[in-house]
């Protein structure tokens, strides 16, 4: 939940298991059960997929990697996978890198042979093809995750990618946080009063998990060392971030 890993003053992290996390876990379970077909998790930014993926990857001791600019080529993607399995490499040629990546995945150095590739929309088409080939060769469960708008835009301009994505076995699209998600996150922040919970549900339903948590973090700082987060402090935090009383309708209508 792009920010439902909440950092506390003591430096510890707590995870709020909202619906996005449960949907992500369901997708991973499907990939593990029917590992012949990869799964795809998509959402707009800030809806919680990355934090949930990292959380479940740690719990399962799975391989997690996130595609950055340096990882989008075939070589970069292969090095990324090798590093995700806990190894480095000095190989420079694609064949050597591919063989090494497959060996690391096939030999199963983790408890669960699951490869999670986040921000997959950043991959070049050739790297995407190679990733799917490696998946077929190693029989390792594959979970793909990315930004829905960027994936859609890429597919419109590249029919070959559309054909590749059509091979997926299961898809999950994460939406805005549900009312119960907003409540569960609010409980973790010691929110007080029914009207405050209602305001947070209204706000979360119009924005994202990331924005909801940011608002609560600011409200928590304004709260000081005593009491919970009430509507007054929530409004103050909102104005601190957005600076416009006109936009308060996002909270209270």
Which of 10 and 249 is assigned the larger pLDDT?
A: 249
The stretches of the chain forming alpha helices (DSSP H) are 19-33, 49-60, 74-84, 94-107, 125-138, 148-156, 159-165, 179-188, 194-206, 209-223, 231-242, 249-252
**pLDDT tens digit sequence for 29-83:** 999 998 888 999 999 989 999 999 999 999 999 999 999 999 999 999 999 999 9
> Looking at the 3D structure of the chain, how many domains does it have?
2
Res. 167: pLDDT tops 80: no
Backbone angles phi, psi at 14, to 5 degrees: -125, 145
Long-range own/partner contacts, residues 32-37 (CB < 8 A, 24 or more apart): 32/112, 32/114, 32/141, 34/169, 34/170, 35/113, 35/139, 35/140, 35/141, 35/142, 36/139, 36/169, 37/167, 37/168, 37/169, 37/170
- Residue 32 and residue 147 in one domain: yes
Determine the pLDDT at residue 9: 36
Looking at the fold, whether 108 and 196 belong to one and the same domain comes out as no
> What pLDDT score does 2 carry?
39
In a domain, 238, yes or no: yes
Region class of 217: left (phi > 0), else alpha (psi between -120 and 50), else beta: alpha
Please state the pTM of the whole predicted model. Answer: 0.84
What is the per-residue pLDDT for 90? 84
- Whether 84 shows a pLDDT value over 90: the answer reads yes
In a domain, 1, yes or no: no
Cα(192)–Cα(11) distance, integer angstroms: 24
Question: Are both 164 and 195 inside the same structural domain?
Answer: no
Same domain as 181, residue 142: no
pLDDT tens column, 205-234:
999 999 999 999 999 888 776 778 999 999
Residue 177 in tokens: 């946080």
pLDDT tens digits for range 87-130 = 888 888 999 999 999 998 876 554 568 999 999 989 988 998 89
Boundary of a domain, candidates 119, 149, 174: 174
Could you tell me if 76 and 97 lie in one domain? yes
pLDDT confidence of residue 151 = 60
Q: CB neighbours (10 Å) of residue 11?
A: 6
The vertex-24 CA angle with 21 and 26, nearest 5°, equals: 110
Cβ-based neighbours of 107, under 8 Å, separated by 6 or more: none
Same domain for 243 and 204, yes or no, is yes
Buried b (16+ CB within 10 A) or exposed e, 98-122: bebbbebbeeeebeebbbbbbbbbb
């Amino acid at each position: 939940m792009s920010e439902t890993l909440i950092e506390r003053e003591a430096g510890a992290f707590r995870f709020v298991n909202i619906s996005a996390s449960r949907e992500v876990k369901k997708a991973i379970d499907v990939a593990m059960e029917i590992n012949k077909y990869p799964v795809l998790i998509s959402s707009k930014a800030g809806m919680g997929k990355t934090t949930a993926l990292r959380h479940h990857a740690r719990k399962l001791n799975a391989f997690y990697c996130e595609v950055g600019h340096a990882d989008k080529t075939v070589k970069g993607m292969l090095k990324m996978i090798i590093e995700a399995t806990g190894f480095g490499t000095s190989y420079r040629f694609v064949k050597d890198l591919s063989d090494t990546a497959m060996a690391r995945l096939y030999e199963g150095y983790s408890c669960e042979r699951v490869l999670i590739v986040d921000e997959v929309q950043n991959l070049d088409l050739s790297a995407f093809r190679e990733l799917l080939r490696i998946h077929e060769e190693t029989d390792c469960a594959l979970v793909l995750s990315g930004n829905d708008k960027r994936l859609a835009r890429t597919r419109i301009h590249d029919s070959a990618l559309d054909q590749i994505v059509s091979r997926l076995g299961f898809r999950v699209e994460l939406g805005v946080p549900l009312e119960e998600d907003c409540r569960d996150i609010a409980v973790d922040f010691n929110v007080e009063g029914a009207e405050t919970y209602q305001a947070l549900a209204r706000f979360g339903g119009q924005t994202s998990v990331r924005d909801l948590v940011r608002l609560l973090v600011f409200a928590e700082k304004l709260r000081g060392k005593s009491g919970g987060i009430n509507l007054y402090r929530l409004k103050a935090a909102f104005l601190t971030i957005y600076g416009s009383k006109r936009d308060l309708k996002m909270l209270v209508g």
